[in-house]
Chain A
Amino acid sequence: MKRGNFIESSVAGFVRALGRVLMSEEIANRRGLLQALDPRVRLMGLFALVLAVVLAHRLTVVLTLFLAAVMLALCSSVSILLLAKRVWLVVLVFTGMIALPAIFLTPGTRVAAFAGGALPITAQGLSAAALLIARVETAVTFTTLLVLCTSWTHVLKALRWFCIPPEAITMLAMTHRYAFLLIDTASQMFESRRSRTVGHLPRAALRRMTARTAGVLLSKSIALSDEVYLAMQSRGFRGEVHILSEFHMKAWDYVGLLAFLGAGGIAVWAGR
C-alpha cells in the first residue's frame, strides 16, 4: 500500500460495508426459494447444513453439499458471480494459503516430491488441504446465503425463537443500527480530513490522526448512548423487551424444514 493511502482504503472499506448492506436488503426482497421460506426455517435449516458440513469427514460429501449450496443460490436469485467474487475467491486465497503447507508438512504416504525429495507431497496432506478448503468454502457459502436472503430484522426475530435472551437480541439490533450510523460518521470524518490534507503526512502523524479520529468517534458513541438511554426512558423502557412476532409456519415451510434437516442428516450419516 502506498504511503498515505490508508485514508482512502479506510473510506473504501466503509463504503464497501454500506454497499453490502444495501445489496443484502435488495436480494432479501427478491423472489426465490429461500426467500419464500419462513426466516426461522432458513436460520435452522442453513445452520443444520453448516453443521453437517463441519461434521462430514468425506470430501465427496462436502462437495455434494457445495453443489447443493450452488443450487440453492441459483433457486434464490443469488448471482453465482457475486458468490464467486465475495466468497469463493476470498476463501480460496485465505484458506488456500493456510492449507497449502499442509500438503508438504502432513506425514503420510509420499505421492510426489519437490526440490530433490526435500519437499515430499503426501496423500494425507493433499486430502487434508482439499477437505479444509472444501469445507470452509461450503460452510461460508451457506452462511452467506442466509445473510443475503434474509433481512437483518428477520434474522433477529428468528433468533428470538432459539432461546436467545431478549436483551441480547435488543443489543444485537441496536449495535447493527448504530454500527452503520458510526460507519457513516467515521467515513465523513475521514473524508473531511482528506479534503483538508495537502501532500503526504508522515506515518507517525497518520497514526496519531487515526487514534484521534477513533477517540472522537468514541466520545460521539458515548454521547449517542446517553441520548438513546434518555429516549428509551422517555418511552417508558424499564429493561423488559417485548418483540412483536408475526411469523406463521405454512405447509411449505414444514416441507422446507424437513428437506433441510433430512439433507443434513443424510450428509452426516454418509460423511462419517
Chain B
Amino acid sequence: MHIPDGYLSPSTCATLYAGAVAGWYGAFRRLKRTLLSRVVPLISVFAAFAFVVMMFNLPLPGGTTGHAIGVTIAAIVLGPAGAILAISIALAIQALFFGDGGITTLGANCFNMAIVGSLVAYASYRLIAAGASVASRRRIAAAAIAGYLAVNASAVVAAIEFGIQPLLFRDAGGTPLYAPYSMRVALPAMMIGHLTFAGLAEAVISAGLVAYLQVADPALLQATSGSRPGWEESSEAVRVTAKGQRRLWLAVGLLMLLTPLGVLAAGKAWGEWSPAEFVVAEAQSPVTAAGVPVGTVPAGMQRLANLWTAPFPAYAPTFMKSAAFGYFLSAMFGVGLLLSLSLLVQGYLARRRGTRYST
C-alpha cells in the first residue's frame, strides 16, 4: 500500500499532503497537552516498533505470508493521535531511508495508513470493546476486527486515489498520465489482496498482541479501554484543559454582556423573512428576478410559518419593554439551557462510568 512517486498526480499529492498536515497538526496539538518530553520518546520508540513489526513475516492460512502495518496496536495503546504520529514517522523513515513509498506521495501514504487507518482502528476497537474489561476476550476479537477494517479502509482510500487519476489526468490523445486504471479496475484489484492477505495479517498481529498484553502488560491496554484515563488524559492534560475551560467561560460571559449590540443592527438578513416581511417590496426585490410575483407569500411558507411559535420571538420576550434587556435575557436563557443540557449529559456519562468501575 506504500504508493511510490509517479502513481499520483502532483495536485492529488498536494491535496493529500494538506489532509495529512491537518491530521498531524490535530494529533500534535492533542499530544502537546501532555508533557512534551514524555511524548517525544514514547512516539519515537513506538514508531520504531511499528517500523520493525512491518518487517515481520507472518504465516497466514493458505500457505502464504503477509506483513502487518502495526497501526491497530498503535491506536489501541497510544490512542488515535499518538498512532497518527507514530505511523507517520515510521512511513517517513521508510520513504526517506529505504525508498519504500515516494517522497511526493508521503502525504498520501500517511493520509491512507496513518490517519484513516488509525481513526478506523480506534473507532472500531472502542465500539466493539465498549464496556468490556481489559482482560475480556471481546477485546481480542475487537482488535482483530479493527485491524482488518483499518487496513481495508486504508486500501479503499488508496484505490479511490488511484481510480480518479485516469478520470482527471489524460493527455490530448487520451493517454492516462498517472495510475492508468479507472475505479472499476483499481478498486477490486486493490481490495482482493487486502481483503484476503493484508487485512488478515493486521488482524492476526493485532489480536495476538492484545492477547499477549492482557496477560503480560495489561496496563498498556488501559489508555483506550474507556475505564480509566489514559496517558493522553494525564493530570497535566486535565490541568491544561481546566485552564482552557476557564478562558472559554470568560469569553462566553463577555459575549453575553455584549449581546445588546444586536439591537443596533438594522435591516433583515437575506432569506430570514417572516411571511409578513416577505410581502414588503424591499424583501421582494432580490427574488422578483426569479419570477415570484410581488406581494404574494408562497403557500408552503405560509403553511409552515405557524407550525411552531417560539417562546422568545425575535429574541424579545413579549413581557419585556426594553429590547436591549430582552436580548440579554435571551442570551442568558440560551446559555443556561445549553449548560443544563451539557451538565445532564455529563452527569449521565459519569454515572455510567461509575457503574463500570464498581463492576
Contact = CB atoms under 8 A, between A and B. Distances in A.
Contacts of B46: 221-222, 225
A54 interface: yes
Interface in A94-140: 95, 99, 101-102, 105-108, 123-125, 127-129, 131-132, 135-136, 138-140
Nearest to A211: B208
Chain B contact residues, majority secondary structure:
helix
A222 B45 contact: yes
B209 A9 contact: no
Given A176-B93, A210-B59, A233-B37, A140 B205 contact: no
A131 B9 CA distance: 13
A255 interface: no
A57 B171 contact: yes
Given A131-B177, A210-B58, A54 B6 contact: yes
Given A136-B5, A218-B49, A143 B208 contact: no
B102 A139 contact: yes
Given A136-B5, A174-B41, A214 B209 contact: yes
B217 A219 contact: yes
A6 B58 contact: yes
Given A6-B59, A178-B45, A218-B213, A132 B208 contact: no
Contact of A175 (B5, B24, B47, B58): B47
A239 B209 CA distance: 31
Contacts of A21: 97
Given A91-B4, A171-B47, A14 B55 contact: yes
B157 interface: no
A224 interface: yes
B8 to A, nearest CB: 8
B216 interface: yes
Interface string B31-62: 00001111011111111110111011111110
Interface stretch (B84-92, B239-247, B260-268): B84-92
Interface string A252-264: 0000000000000
Given A54-B5, A143-B103, A232-B37, A124 B55 contact: no
B38 A229 contact: yes
A269 B42 CA distance: 46
A175 B56 contact: no
B13 to A, nearest CB: 7
Contacts of B85: 171
A144 B4 CA distance: 12
Contacts of B4: 91, 95, 136, 139-140
A211 B177 contact: no
A61 B243 CA distance: 58
B278 interface: no
A9 B175 contact: no
B6 A6 contact: no
A196 interface: no
A140 B181 contact: no
Contacts of A247: none
Contacts of A108: 173-175
A195 B166 CA distance: 52
Interface string A237-256: 11100000000000000000
B235 interface: no
B179 interface: yes
A48 to B, nearest CB: 11
Interface string B272-311: 0000000000000000000000000000000000000000
The winner among A50, A170, A225, A233 for most chain B CB atoms within 10 A is: A225
B44 to A, nearest CB: 3
Interface stretch (A31-39, A67-75, A200-208): A200-208
A215 B216 contact: yes
29 contacts: A10-B55, A50-B103, A54-B6, A106-B176, A106-B180, A128-B180, A131-B175, A132-B179, A147-B96, A165-B28, A167-B36, A170-B40, A170-B44, A171-B43, A174-B40, A175-B89, A176-B48, A179-B51, A179-B90, A182-B45, A183-B52, A186-B55, A210-B208, A214-B53, A225-B42, A228-B45, A232-B37, A237-B37, A239-B36
Given A108-B175, A175-B93, 16 more contacts: A1-B65, A6-B57, A21-B97, A51-B10, A91-B4, A106-B180, A125-B180, A132-B179, A136-B6, A171-B89, A174-B45, A179-B51, A203-B60, A218-B212, A222-B220, A229-B38
